[in-house]
């Protein structure tokens, strides 16, 4: 028997199932990602994309299967700040009385003392992260006064400040301006070169072709998984979206 070295995989999800009070949200899903890989997570609303993210971050418990992050459990990945989650803009309260600086500093909380007192290194990490997303002039701006793109960049900066090796991004391109889109795609290339692993969910088919080495098509379970050029076919997409033809999906509205 061939033995697999799990250490090689940043993310190794094997036959995972998630159910909410008996309702199955995701079943028999598999995913293996190595350092430096960017993978697109594509599926309809309710297909289990967010559930997949939640399982990887440990926000929901899996009822079956196994998840290894860098060869270790999800629990120890949490302790090591391995995974950063960048939420959808709709997923956060944009009226929360908090500044860009405060949000990015939250990326450091996991490695701070119980009072979350910033050390010199934390302050520096936050400064650098804010600079990388080009928000230095907006450090003290309340997030409620930001545009959608700036808010997205704020949460990206939080992930950078966290120094995570895995980035999970929920719809990173939805509702952002051209400038932010360009900046995010530049950051993706940098992250890739730094050996980070990126899993991003998206509705936009063009972005998948543009950025993703791999694609994971899901509809409650994995419909297809592999190299984007091989897997991202009209047939597979049609199956993923429950029989809707890709012509419709690639139409002017998508």
Partner 1 sequence: MELCSFLTLDSFITDPLTHDFMRKALLMSSLVAAVCGFLSSYLTLKGWALMGDAVSHSVMPGVVVAYALGLPFSLGAFIFGVGSVALIGFIKQKSRVKEDTVIGLVFTGFFALGIVLVSKIKSNIDLHSILFGSPLGISLSDVKQTIFISLLVVILLSIFRKDLMLYCFDPRHAKTVGINVFFLHYLLLTCLSLAAVVGLQSVGIILVVAMLITPGATAYLLTDKFDNMTVISVLSAIISSLIGIYVSFWFDLETGGSIVLAQTFIFLFAFLFAPRYGIFKLKKLFAGYK
Residue (146 or 208) nearer to partner 1, CB: 146
Cβ 57 to partner 1, closest distance in Å?
Answer: 4
Between 102 and 134, whose beta carbon lies closer to partner 1?
102
> Distance (Å, rounded) from C-alpha 100 to C-alpha 157?
9
* Contact present, 187 and 156 (Cβ < 8 Å): yes
Beta carbon nearer to partner 1, 80 or 213: 80
Using alpha carbons, list the distances in angstroms from residue 239 to 144, 196, 197: 39, 30, 27
Q: Which is nearer to partner 1, 85 or 232 (CB)?
A: 85
The CA-to-CA distance between both ends of the chain, in Å, stands at 46
* Ordered alpha helix ranges (H), 48-147: 49-57, 74-79, 100-105, 120-132
Q: Cβ 90 to partner 1, closest distance in Å?
A: 13
Query: What is the nearest approach in angstroms of partner 1 to the Cβ of residue 97?
Result: 5
Sign of the alpha-carbon dihedral angle for 90, 197, 11, 112: negative
Cα–Cα distance, 63 to 208 (Å, whole number): 30
Query: How far is Cα 45 from Cα 179, in angstroms, rounded to an integer?
Result: 27
Kindly tell me which of 3 and 113 has the beta carbon lying closer to partner 1: 113
Provide, rounded to whole angstroms, the least separation between the CB of residue 62 and partner 1: 14
- With contact defined as beta carbons under 8 Å apart, do 12 and 32 qualify? yes
Shortest distance in whole angstroms from residue 2 CB to partner 1: 33
Comparing CB distances to partner 1, the nearer of 158 and 207 is 158
Residue nearer to partner 1 on the CB measure, 2 or 93? 93
CB crowding 121-151: b at 16 or more within 10 Å, else e = ebeebbeebbebbebeebeeeebeebeebbb
Closest approach, Cβ 168 to partner 1, in A, equals 8
The residues of the shown chain that bind partner 1, judged by CB under 8 A, are 21, 54, 57-59, 75, 78-81, 83-85, 87, 91-93, 96-99, 102, 106-107, 109-110, 114-116, 142, 144-145, 158, 162
Least Å from the CB of residue 92 to partner 1:
6
């Amino acid at each position: 028997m061939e033995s697999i070295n799990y250490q090689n995989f940043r993310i190794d999800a094997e036959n995972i199932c998630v159910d909410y009070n008996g309702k199955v949200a995701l079943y028999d899903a598999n995913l293996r990602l190595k350092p430096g890989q960017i993978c697109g997570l594509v599926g309809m609303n309710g297909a289990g994309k967010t559930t997949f993210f939640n399982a990887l971050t440990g926000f929901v418990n899996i009822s079956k299967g196994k998840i290894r992050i860098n060869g270790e459990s999800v629990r120890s990945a949490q302790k090591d700040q391995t995974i950063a989650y960048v939420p959808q803009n709709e997923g956060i309260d944009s009226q929360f009385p908090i500044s860009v600086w405060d949000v990015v500093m939250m990326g450091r909380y996991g490695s701070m003392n119980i009072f979350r007192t910033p050390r010199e290194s934390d302050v520096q990490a936050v400064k650098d992260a804010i600079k990388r997303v080009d928000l230095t002039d907006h450090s003290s701006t309340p997030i409620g006064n930001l545009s959608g793109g700036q808010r997205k960049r704020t949460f990206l900066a939080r992930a950078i400040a966290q120094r995570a090796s895995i980035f999970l991004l929920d719809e990173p391109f939805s509702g952002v301006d051209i400038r932010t889109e360009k900046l995010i795609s530049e950051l993706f290339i940098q992250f890739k070169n730094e050996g980070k692993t990126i899993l991003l969910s998206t509705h936009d088919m063009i972005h998948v072709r543009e950025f993703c080495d791999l694609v994971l098509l899901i509809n409650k379970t994995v419909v297809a998984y592999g190299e984007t050029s091989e897997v991202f076919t009209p047939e597979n997409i049609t199956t993923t979206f429950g029989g809707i033809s890709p012509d419709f999906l690639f139409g002017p509205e998508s």
